[in-house]
Amino acid sequence: MTTEGTDGQPEYEHAIRPLRRRGVQRLARELWGQGRSIWSADLGDRELLVDQAGVTEAPAPAAVAQVLGVEPGTRVCVRGHRYLLERKPVLLATSYLPADLVAGSAITEEDTGPGGIYARLAELGYRPAHFREEIRCRMPSQDEADRLELGAGTPVVHISRTAFAGDGRPVEVNEMVLDSGAYVLEYDFDA
């Protein structure tokens, strides 16, 4: 059920007011290029916290290797995070970047600094120039349901985003699993 919010946008009845994920605006270079987080397009006055974070190097899963154009098992930098909104887990995100491309950079640290990994990729000469997102809804794995603290029968939204440098090289694959009740996906673009 929806009601109209004070901003004229629909509000959905859930335990928390859903995040409005602005798919086009959040990836605009003006945001991360000025040292702002891509999350600032979505949050307004709300705070999104990371309560689980890790950075490691591991062999690329076959599907990730295919998208990155590398052999399966090629070493990648893996950045995993769990995000909380109003103390409720709402998102699991795992980024995969070619290890040889990001070696020794701030991307291999937990805190990448202002503008995040896209600003750091730009500093390395691989500024993201194009993004592709694939979105699907599905039931969560048991691990995803546990980590997102989902009730039985709650689906998730799975977004797979690939960032491409100006020469067309894929430089990041980000696999995101969203609590479907915690998000409204918004895409606003010109015809």
What CATH number has the domain bearing residue 42? 3.40.1410.10
Percentage of the chain beyond pLDDT 70 is: 74
pLDDT at 87: 87
- For the chain, what is the domain count? 1
pLDDT for the residue 20 = 64
Burial class (CB in 10 A: 0-12, 13-18, 19+), 152: exposed
The pTM of the full predicted model, rounded to 2 decimals, is: 0.79
Query: pLDDT tens digits, residue range 11-65?
Result: 434 466 666 665 555 455 554 455 545 554 455 566 778 899 999 999 999 999 9
Q: What is the structure's pLDDT at 160?
A: 96
pLDDT for 8: 55
Are residues 55 and 110 in contact, defined by beta-carbon separation less than 8 angstroms? Answer: yes
Look at residue 71 and tell me if it is in a domain: yes
Q: Is 44 part of any domain?
A: yes
Are the C-beta atoms of 171 and 128 separated by less than 8 Å? yes
pLDDT at 122: 93
Range of weakest confidence among 2-6, 20-24, 187-191: 2-6
Rounded to 5°, the CA angle 102-103-106 comes to 70
Q: What is the mean pLDDT of residues 124-133?
A: 94
Decide if 132 is inside a domain. yes
Segment 117-123 mean pLDDT: 93
Rounded mean pLDDT, 92-112: 96
* Residue 12 confidence (pLDDT): 39
Asked if the structure places residue 191 within a domain, the reply is: no
* Higher pLDDT, residue 186 or 180: 180
Q: What is the domain range of residue 174?
A: 2-186
Higher pLDDT, 9 or 152: 152
Least Cα distance to 117 among 137, 140, 93, 146 occurs for 93
User: Residue 181: its pLDDT value, please?
Assistant: 86
pLDDT band at 136 (very low <50, low <70, confident <90, very high): very high
